Structure 1
């Protein structure tokens, strides 16, 4: 099974390009993105951000974090139910409980009807 890795250096370089284009300091980036300055310092030293920091920085910069994931030689497609679950949980019209209930219904039906 292929092991995916996150290219933190490339993500940081893209963040830096965004920062420079917006003519901001790293301190301003931290404030606007809602991350600590130490998160950015650690990234500058080659360390990876935590998942919440990554999400905040990706949202701030409009960078797609998935672009920086190296999947090795894997050509695997995501599981259908996993993708449906992602959409359900992102739907602002559904509560977390409602999304989970729909996910359970769809997963049960899908597993009974899919080709073996």
Structure 2
């Protein structure tokens, strides 16, 4: 059976991208997310977050938790080569934009989502 763990490097990288986009310190980012600065420091050192901390972070990033999972002993090649969901990757980038309102972000997500679905249907 495959073991699933949290890819702390990927999670930390997503947080760092959001931090840089917002021009925040790590301490300020922790305050915005609602976690302790030490949790972010532990992530930076490759340590796993506690369950509540992980849930809070992925909720704040508005990304599915599964995007940060690593699986040992995957059963199929498809699971290993599957691309991450485009909308899951774009959502935090759109949300980080200071010039976009929540309404703007939702609208762009709908447009991009419809475009992706159309491309899949044609491809």
TM-score, length-scaled by structure 2 = 0.56
> Which aligned runs of 4 or more in structure 1 are off by greater than 3 angstroms?
none
Aligned residues: 75
Determine the C-alpha separation between the residues in 1 that align with 2:48 and 2:68: 12
Distance (Å, rounded) in 2 between the aligned partners of 1:47 and 1:34: 19
Instruction: Pick the structure with greater CA Rg.
Output: 1
Give the aligned partner of residue 18 of structure 1: 18
Deviations 1:16-44 (A, max 9, x none): 01111121111111111111111111111
Take 1:33 and 1:61, find their aligned partners in 2: how far apart are those partners?
Answer: 9
1-side partners of 2:3 and 2:53: how far apart?
Answer: 22
> What runs of 5+ residues in structure 1 fail to find an aligned partner?
76-116
Q: Aligned residue for 1:56?
A: 56
Q: Which residue of 2 aligns with 1:69?
A: 69
What's the TM-score, normalizing by structure 1? 0.59
* Partner residue, 2:39: 39
How much is the aligned-residue C-alpha RMSD, in angstroms? 1.4
Gaps of 5+ in 2: 77-123
